[in-house]
Every structure is written in structure tokens, then in C-alpha cells.
Amino acid sequence: MTSQNTLPTLAILGGTGKEGPGLALRWAMAGYPVIIGSRLHEKAQKTADELNKILESESILGFENGVAASKADICVLTVVYTAHEPAIKSLKDDLKGKILVDATARVDFRNPIPPAPPSAARLAQSTLGDQVRVVAAFQNVPAAVLRKNLDKPLEEDVLVCADDPKDADEVIKLAESLGMKAYYSGNLDNAVVVEGLTSILISMNKHYGSRTGSIQISGIDKGE
């Protein structure tokens, strides 16, 4: 889908849950054309309508996941982690030629333990093949921070893993557009550690009675 501005169109696949709508809202506020994806067109449209009400605009669209993916330049996967494999398989054709940002952290909130390798993003890349460029990011950005203080930039840092750093750069721009610092963090195999960090953050949130624990990196000068 060609947008009037130069920013890529983003599809948030499974964007009807907790994480996806907040990302969609923030990117729409940053000027990106945004599409919500769902297994059901009506559900996607409902979430788009809710977000548009907050934005006082009609800018966010809603479509079934495959249609949303085919209309976008960059797709962001935010389906519940237990649906990661079937979602990836069902969207294989629609994702061809695109960047897929995989935000999946395979951690059960009730029993947080780090997942075993390979990373969800590595599994996605293996299934999707080389016609899709998978980038892992946003696994440590809690849904609870995305929908509040909308007038303030996000303070969380984002670890971005990709086999090609140039693909990571595209996603670093997306994170920076929301005010976050984002860092290239190695290839897709490293993303399993980022998923595991989510287990640590959930455990910390439980212990300290928070919902917004995240990460900030020190000691890296990005030269900006």
C-alpha cells in the first residue's frame, strides 16, 4: 500500500490484544499509516475504531491478518505466543517481500521461565524462508506502558535482533519514532535471550507489584 508520506505502512498482526493496539496507537501518532490485523475482519475493525476514537481520526484501518499483511510494507506480529507457529504458517504467502517484526516472547505470565532455543524469530525465519526478513524486537516493551502517558515518549530500550543489520535498522527507526532507544543486538539466535528477559521482567513485576518493568542499556555510545 503506497502511503501519502514516505513512511512505510505498518500492519500489526494479532493487533487486537494487549500489546498490538498500544504499538498501533503510538505509531499512528508518529505519522505511520497503520493497519490492525485479526483473524476476524470485524474484530480488527472494532479495535481500529477504538484507537481512531482516541486519535480523533479515521487513520487506522482494520483487516483480516492476511489482507493486512499484504497491504503493508512492514508487519509486526503480536499474536498470543501460543499461536506463533500456526500464525506464521498461515501468513507465509502474505508476508513475502516484507520485513516481519516478531515481538513474541514465549513466556507464560503464570509461570515465567525462559524459553529454550531456537528463538521464536529464528523459528519464524526458518518457516518463512528467505523471501521474508524477520527481525525480533519489542519483546520487553510491556503493553501497560504503551497506552498511558501518550503525550510522553517511551523510555524503554529495545533490543533488535536480525540476521542482516540493515533490516534491524528499519526496525530501530520504528522504535526511535516512539522515543525509545534501540540497539542492534546480534542475529536471530540471540533473540531467545531477549525472550528470556521477559521471564525475568514478569518475575520482577510480580515480586515488586509492578506491570511496567522493562530494560535500559548503559555503556553503549551509538554516536548520535
Ligand X SMILES: NC(=O)c1ccc[n+]([C@@H]2O[C@H](COP(=O)([O-])OP(=O)(O)OC[C@H]3O[C@@H](n4cnc5c(N)ncnc54)[C@H](OP(=O)(O)O)[C@@H]3O)[C@@H](O)[C@H]2O)c1
Contact 104, 76 (CB under 8 A): no
Beta carbons within 10 angstroms of residue 88's beta carbon: 25
If the CB atoms of residues 138 and 184 are measured against ligand X, the closer one turns out to be 138
| Burial label, 39 (beta-carbon count in 10 A; 0-12, 13-18, 19+) | middle
Give the nearer residue to ligand X in terms of CB position, either 87 or 162: 87
Question: With respect to ligand X, which residue has the nearer C-beta, 67 or 143?
Answer: 143
Q: Is the dihedral of CA 16, 18, 20, 21 positive or negative?
A: positive
Q: What are phi and psi of 67, to 5 degrees?
A: -65, -45
SS (H, E, C) 68-132: HHHHCCEEEECCCHHHHHHHHHHCCCCCCCCEEEECCCCCECCECCCCCCCCHHHHHHHHHCCCC
Binding of ligand X by 214 (CB under 6 A): no
Quick one: which of 95, 105, 175, 194 contacts ligand X (CB under 6 A)? 105
Residue 44 · residue 79 · CB < 8 Å: no
User: CB-wise, 82 or 131, nearer to ligand X?
Assistant: 82
118 near ligand X, rule: CB under 6 A: no
Task: Scan residues 152-191 and list those touching ligand X (CB under 6 A).
Answer: none
For position 83 contacting ligand X by CB under 6 A, the verdict is yes
Residue 2 DSSP one-character state = -
The region of 38-46, 91-99, 164-172, 179-187 touching ligand X under the rule CB under 6 A is 38-46
* Interaction of residue 142 with ligand X, rule CB under 6 A: yes
Q: Residue from 7, 10, 11, 19 that binds ligand X (CB under 6 A)?
A: 19
Nearest CB to ligand X, comparing residues 3 and 150: 150
Considering only residues 8, 30, 39, 71, which one is a binding residue for ligand X as defined by CB under 6 A?
Answer: 39
Phi, psi of 25 (to 5 degrees): -60, -50
Among 1, 3, 31, 80, the residue binding ligand X under the rule CB under 6 A is 80
User: Cα–Cα distances in Å, from 218 out to 64, 150, 155, 195, 221?
Assistant: 40, 25, 13, 20, 8
Contact pick of 30, 143, 200, 215 for ligand X (by CB under 6 A): 143
Task: Please select the residue that binds ligand X; options are 23, 141, 158, 174, rule is CB under 6 A.
Answer: 141
Using the rule CB under 6 A, is 71 a contact of ligand X?
Answer: no
**Contact footprint for ligand X (CB under 6 A):** 14, 16-20, 38-40, 43, 78-81, 83, 86-87, 103-105, 138-139, 141-143
